Every structure is written in C-alpha cells, then in structure tokens.
Amino acid sequence: MSRTEKILWGIALVGFLAGIAGLIQRFTGGHTVAAYGTYVPWGLWVAVYTTLVGISIGSFLIAALGEGARIRALQPLTGIALLTALAALAGGLLAIWLDLGHPLRFWKLFFSTSPTSIMGWMAWLYTVYGILLLVLIYLKWARPTSPLLRPLFGLGLALAVIFGGAEGALFGVVSAQALWESALVPIRFLVEGAASGMALVLFLAILLGYLEPEPGRFLRWTLLGLLLATAVLEWSEYSTTIYAGIPAKVESLRIVLFGPFWWVFWIFQIGLGLVVPIILLALSGERRVWLGVAGGLVAFTSLSAKLNLVIPALVVPELEGLRMAFTGPGLSFDYFPTLSEWLLAVWVASTAALIFLTAYRLLPAMRARPA
Amino acid sequence: MAQEIQTRIRTLATRRAFLARFASGVFASLIAPAVTSGVLDQVEAASRERTGVGPALTPELPEGMNGQHPIERMLKDLQRALQKPVDQRRWAMVIDLRKCVGCYACTVACIAENKLPPGIAYRPVITETRGTYPNVSRRFIPRPCMQCENPPCVSVCPVQATWKRPDGIVVINYDQCIGCRYCITACPYAARSFDSGYFYSDFEGGSPQPYELLPSPEYGENRVRRKDASPVGNVRKCHFCLHRIERGQLPACVLSCMGRATYFGDLNDPQSLVSELASRPNAFRLKEEMGTEPKVFYLV
C-alpha cells in the first residue's frame, strides 16, 4: 500500500468514525435531528445524493467512452473510473435512503412504482445501472477480454446519459418551485455531473500515480470543455431569469447570489469550482500537480452547485404571509443543516470513499498501469 | 312667600325661554346645510322603509336571519350528496374573506379534531396587510388543502401513496408513504406537511401527555401516534375531515368558524350553497394560473 493510499484510508476512516455519531442520531432521533421539515422538505442529504450520483455518472462516462466508444486515451482509466462510479452511486443511494421518512419501505419503490413519477423511474434506472456496474466490474476483473464488455459499456453509456438527465428532470418538472422549473436543469445536471465525475477520476488518478500523459491530456481538455459549458448554462439560466423577472424565481436567485450564503455561490461554486479550475486547466499545461488541483477543486466543490439548486428554491414561501401564518418545528423557511446532518453527510462520503479504497485494494486488476 | 315663588317661576321661565331659543339657534345652524342638501329627506325615507312603509333595504345581515341557517342548509346539502354514488360528488369549500376575522378557530379546531402534533397545521390562516397608512386594511386567508382537480402532488409520488378519490378529495395512505417528501415540493400551496416526529412533550420535558396518545380519526383509522410508526415519517395533509363527511358531519373548520366564513358542500349539486357561492363573480381561487383547478374558492 502506497503512502498516499494510507493517507486516504486514514481520512476515510476518521470521517467514517466521526460520522457514526450522525448515523446514531438519525436512528435514535428520527428526522427531529434535522433542520428540514415542512416548508423546506429537502436539505443537505438530498444535495449530497444528487452530487454523488452526478459524480457516478461522470466517472462512468470515462469508462464507457473508453471501452464502449473505443477512445483509447481513456482506456487505462477504465478500472478506476468504474470503481469511482460504483462507490459514488452507493454513497448517493445511502444518503437518499437515510433521508426517507420510512427507509425500510424502500422496496415499495419497486413493487408499487408510479409510472407518472420520475422518482419512481429513477429507482429502476438506479437498479439497472447498479447491476450493470457490478457486472462490468466483474467482467473487467475476471474476463477482461469478454466480447460482452463493449455492448454492455454502450448500454451503460446510454443509460448514464438518460438517467443523468432524468436526475435533473426530477427537479425540472416541479412547476411549484420556480427555480427548478427549467428545461436547462436536466442538461445542467448532466454536464455538471460529467464534469465532477471526470474531475474526481482525474484527481484520484494523479493522487494514486496512475495518470499517463495521454489520458491526462484528454481529460484536461474534456474537463475544460465541460466547465465552459457549465459556465454558459449557468449564465444562460441566471441572466434570462433576472431579465424575465418572474418574482418567485428572481427571489430564489437573489438568495443564491446575495442571500446569507452568497459565499457558497461566489466562492465555492463560481470561484473554486469554475474560475480557478478553468484557469488552471487552460494555462498550466500538462503539469500533473495543477491538473490534480483543478480536478480536486471541481469534484469537491460540486456539492455547492447542488446546494444552490435544492435549497434556495424551497426557502421562498409558496404564498406570501405563510412564514408567519403558523409556527412550530419544521415550519421555517430558513434552513441551515444541523450538526447531525453534517455528520451524516461526512459518514456517507467516507463510506463511499471506503468502498472505493476497499475495492481498489481487493481488485488489483482494476488499477491502471503506473505512469 | 307666594309672591316670591311667583317671581322665581317667572325668572326661571324667562331663563328657560332664553336657553331654548339659544339652543334652537345653534341646532338650526348645524342642520341647515343638511336640510338644504336633502340629507334629512333621505334619513326620513330610510326610516319609513325600516318601518315597512317603503321598499326593503338589503342589509348585510347574517344568513341565519335572512332565511335558512347556512349550517342547516349545508347539512342538508351534505345529506343529499351522501345519497349519491361517491363518484358523483365533488366536495368543495368556499371561504368568504370579508367575513373571516382571523380568530384561528378553524386552525385550532382542525388540530384538535385530527390530533395534530407540533408543527403541523392543515389549515393555517395567512394574514395579509394591504395599503399604507392611513389607508391600511387587513385580510385573513385560511389555507386548507385546495383538493385540486389536477393535483401536482399526486403524479410525483413514486409509490402511489397519494391519490385523488372519486369525490375529489386528495388522500394519503400512511402505510404506503415512504416519506420522500417529493409531493411537498410539488404543492404550489404548501398544503402538505412532514410529520418529523415531534410531540408537545418534547418541548415540555417528560413523556407524552395523555392528549397526545388519543387516536386520530383521520381516514377512519384511529391511529395512536408513536415515534416509530406512521404517520410519523409521513407526509400529511388536510382531507376536508373525510371521516366526518362520511358520518354526515361538516368538517371541523366549517363548524368552528364563528364568522360563518367557511362553507362546504357538493359542487356537483346545483342547489348546494357552495355551488351558489362558488359561481358568484367575486369568487376566485389561489394561483389559478398553475392550472391545478383548486376546489377551494375565496369570496372577496
């Protein structure tokens, strides 16, 4: 085990152990330990779920493009990308499972699926995608020359694009939330997810010392393109919203841009998640350190974009005067995650990291050749 | 002695006469403008009408004084509707905002009826202040579930735990709901609540109070609320007191309204009070532009 790997294990274990406190509180206190409730029904855990699922899609795209679309430059990263996709998917599903009011009833998603609900479709899409990931990891590990690999990767590519968009559509179809209701949201989810997943694989590949010049170059330009596309999409969404002036939508956007958590947008989402990585990727050449920093920044700040989508839409009252109409726990339009929510989020992310590290250790064939 | 008394009476009479004349003069100067502008004629005419001499006025009197009491009429409407098959009923509510005084009796009655925990109110009352000083007015807007004809909360539920009944009431199956809260985000009226599991005793210390252990009659299920079982962890909402309707009773909020501002009945019955009120030109619905077709009408 390399020194870097040991450090990663250490960080993941510390996070896992610290997060157990949040897990215990979640099971003993139910949802009373969280700051979300009736008026802001979704919070940090939903943002973590969408972020991790996006990362899973993005990292899977590397494997699918390499093996399914035969982009040779990406093929050395297939193994690490598949493991990242699996770990991120597991973490995302774990976050949303713990967010349910009745986690033990999750099976109803399969036996009583509503055909009109995008969330109902997602349950099946996640299942198919998760099984496909496991099959692909097995084939890549046990039968790397199997003829099934290419068609399965092709299927996975189509699936990743479909459910990457569907993840955004889950928000985009909600007409009651002005900030969500937009045809750009599914596209943003897909592009942002692709960027964050590819960025994480780039970061891990550099950290673990497996990045060759060719995949590095390919990822650098692809990531740069995705980040520029993200910037265009965000500019397009925000500028048209402000110009159109629909009050509820503008109010949500005002909260994103100038509200009490303005720094999440300007510092994390735009500064560290977009501007700095674009500069690094565009100007720093092929130097691994800077590529790794850019990748890490994009991956680790991707949560901010999801937080800025999920929460600001919900903190604007649906009806004026509702804020003071009745008071009590859960009847607040102000949301900031509780310590329990943060701890559980850390536990989920650490669990995902441990799944990755365990698989990475147990399946040496999945590792790329050292650069 | 007698002469002295006579003198005093004369003096008094003179003084009285003076005061009477003075007062008459002042009064005449006060009413002169009214007389010249015909106000007194109008007052006199009104007085004649009140005594039945002229045509009747249309005063803003409570309906009970104008004929059949609205509660009586709504109960009859309800009985008539219950005679019909369930799919031929269409329950609706009309709230007269001119009569709502913001007493919150409906909010409290609903909480008491459905045994709602802290942080859950199916029918909050929104206070709206309009205008600027000195022209300021207040309006109270009770907000039950709108029981939409096209409920956006139903289609998003991933497990078919919520649906619109044939009579139009949107209900939730607590045993089916997984608590994902997607429906809460989809409701444009914020009419759905998440039961996080709070008890009043959580804020007072100690174990649940006896009143918290009373069974809720919602959906006729008589569930006793516990921390580890539904409806804790579920989404909850107003159901027009379905359990009461099915017993031939009016919803708790309707009965408790002291301003008689809330009406309930079958919109499919053209003779019902709600049909009559909902078709008035001063009726409106919240966020009509959303296309949800609410069945709660407001009169302004």
Tell me, yes or no, whether B218 and B174 share the same domain.
yes
- CA closest to A322 among chain B residues: B126
What pLDDT digit, counting tens, does each position of A240-270 carry? Answer: 999 999 888 899 999 999 999 999 999 999 9
Instruction: Indicate if B281 and B154 belong to the same structural domain.
Output: yes
Query: At A89, which CATH number?
Result: 1.20.1630.10
Is B19 inside any structural domain? yes
* Top-confidence residue, B35 or B196: B196
- Domain for residue B11, yes or no? yes
Q: Is residue B58 part of a domain?
A: no
- Cα nearest neighbour of A42 on chain B: B181
* Domain span holding position B34: 2-50
**Which residues from B are below 8 Å from A329, CB to CB?**
118-119, 196, 198
Count of domains observed in chain B: 2
Q: Do B127 and A324 touch (CB under 8 A)?
A: yes
CA distance B111 to chain A (A): 12
Contact criterion met (CB below 8 Å) for A74 and A218: yes
CATH code of the domain covering residue B67: 3.30.70.20
Residue numbers of B between 208 and 227 with CB closer than 8 Å to A:
227
Residue type present at position B272? S
Res B82 pLDDT > 50: yes
Among B residues 234-263, those touching chain A with beta carbons less than 8 Å apart: 234-235
Q: Is residue B55 part of a domain?
A: no
Q: Where are the alpha helices (DSSP H) in chain A?
A: 3-29, 44-63, 78-99, 108-111, 118-142, 149-172, 184-207, 213-244, 247-258, 262-263, 276-283, 288-314, 322-325, 339-362
Nearest beta carbon to residue A114 from set B159, B234, B235: B159
Contacts of residue B189 in chain A, CB cutoff 8 Å?
318-319
Closest in B158, B177, B193 to A38, CB measured: B193
Considering the domain architecture, whether residues B143 and B289 belong to the same structural domain is answered as yes
Task: Determine the pLDDT at residue A209.
Answer: 84
Asked if A118 has any chain B CB less than 8 Å from its own CB, the reply is yes
Cβ-nearest to B189 among A34, A37, A319 = A319
Closest approach of B230 to chain A, Cα-based (Å): 9
Whether residue A231 contacts residue A222, with contact meaning beta carbons closer than 8 Å, is answered with no
Is A348 inside a domain boundary? yes
Contact A319 B290 (CB under 8 A): no
The two counts, helices (H) then strands (E), for chain B are: 11, 10
Cβ <8 Å between A114 and B192: no
Q: What digits encode the pLDDT tens for the residues A273-293? A: 999 999 999 998 778 889 999
Q: Say yes or no to pLDDT of B21 above 90.
A: no
Percent of chain A with pLDDT over 70: 98
Q: Is residue B56 part of a domain?
A: no
pLDDT of res. A204: 93
Residue A362's pLDDT band, with cuts at 50, 70 and 90, is confident
Average pLDDT over residues B1-13: 51
Q: What is the rounded (10 degree) CA torsion for B224, B229, B230, B233?
A: 130
CB atoms within 10 A of CB A54: 29
**Which has more confidence, A334 or B36?**
A334
Q: Is B229 part of the contact surface with chain A (CB cutoff 8 Å)?
A: no
Instruction: Give me the pLDDT at residue B62, please.
Output: 55
ipTM over 0.90: yes
A194: pLDDT strictly greater than 80: yes
Tell me what pLDDT residue B16 has. Answer: 55
Give the N- to C-terminal CA distance of chain B in Å, as an integer.
Answer: 75
Closest-CA distance, A111 to chain B, in angstroms, reads 8
Q: Are residues B276 and B232 in the same domain?
A: yes
In a domain, B15, yes or no: yes
Chain A CA closest to residue B291: A175
Average pLDDT of B266-285?
Answer: 95
DSSP B93-140: EEEETTT-----HHHHHHHHHHT--TT--SS-EEEEEEEETTEEEEEE
Q: How many CB atoms lie within 10 A of CB A314?
A: 24
DSSP state of A181: -
Residues B40, B121 within the same domain: no
Contacts of B186 in chain A (CB under 8 A): 174-176
% helix, strand, coil for chain B, step of 5:
40, 15, 45
**Closest residue, chain A, to B158 (C-alpha):** A120
Distance from CA of A193 to the nearest CA of B (A): 22
Rounded to the nearest angstrom, the minimum Cα separation between A281 and chain B is 38
- Determine the distance in angstroms separating the CA of A133 from the nearest CA of chain B, rounded to an integer: 24
Q: Are residues B179 and B44 in the same domain?
A: no
Chain B residues in contact with A322 by the CB 8 A cut-off are 124, 126, 143, 190
- Would B157 be classed as within a structural domain? yes
Is the minimum CB–CB distance between B140 and chain A shorter than 8 Å? Answer: no
In this predicted model, what pLDDT tens digit does every residue of B177-227 receive, in sequence order? 999 999 999 999 999 999 999 999 988 877 888 888 999 999 999 999 998
Does A371 fall in a domain? no
pLDDT in tens, B150-167: 999 999 999 999 999 999
CB < 8 Å from B in window 72-101 of A: 99-101
d(CA A191, CA A171): 15
Does B193 share its domain with B229? yes
CA distance B261 to chain A (A): 18
Contact at CB, A101 and B189, closer than 8 angstroms:
no
Q: How would DSSP label each residue in A1-18?
A: --HHHHHHHHHHHHHHHH
- Show the CA angle centred on residue A274, arms to residues A272 and A280, nearest 5°: 80
| Distance from C-alpha of A81 to C-alpha of A137, rounded to nearest angstrom | 10
Q: Is the pLDDT of residue A369 over 90?
A: no
Same domain, B92 and B240: yes
B178 contacts chain A (CB < 8 A):
yes
Domain assignment present for B112: yes
Instruction: Give the model's pLDDT for residue B6.
Output: 54
Q: How many domains does chain A have?
A: 1
To the nearest whole Å, the CA of B166 is away from the closest chain A CA by: 19
User: Are A325 and B185 a contacting pair at CB < 8 A?
Assistant: no
Closest listed residue to residue A130, CA positions, set A88, A70, A75:
A88
Residues B126 and B27 placed together within one structural domain of the fold: no
Residue A200 belongs to what domain range?
A: 3-366
Alpha-carbon distance of A286 to A217, in angstroms, equals 7
Q: Tell me the C-alpha to C-alpha distance, in Å, between residue B131 and each of A16, A62, B128, B134, B136.
A: 56, 60, 10, 8, 5
Secondary element (H or E) of residue B243: helix B242-245
* Structural Rg of chain A based on CA atoms: 20
Chain A residues whose beta carbon lies within 8 Å of the beta carbon of residue B202 = 32
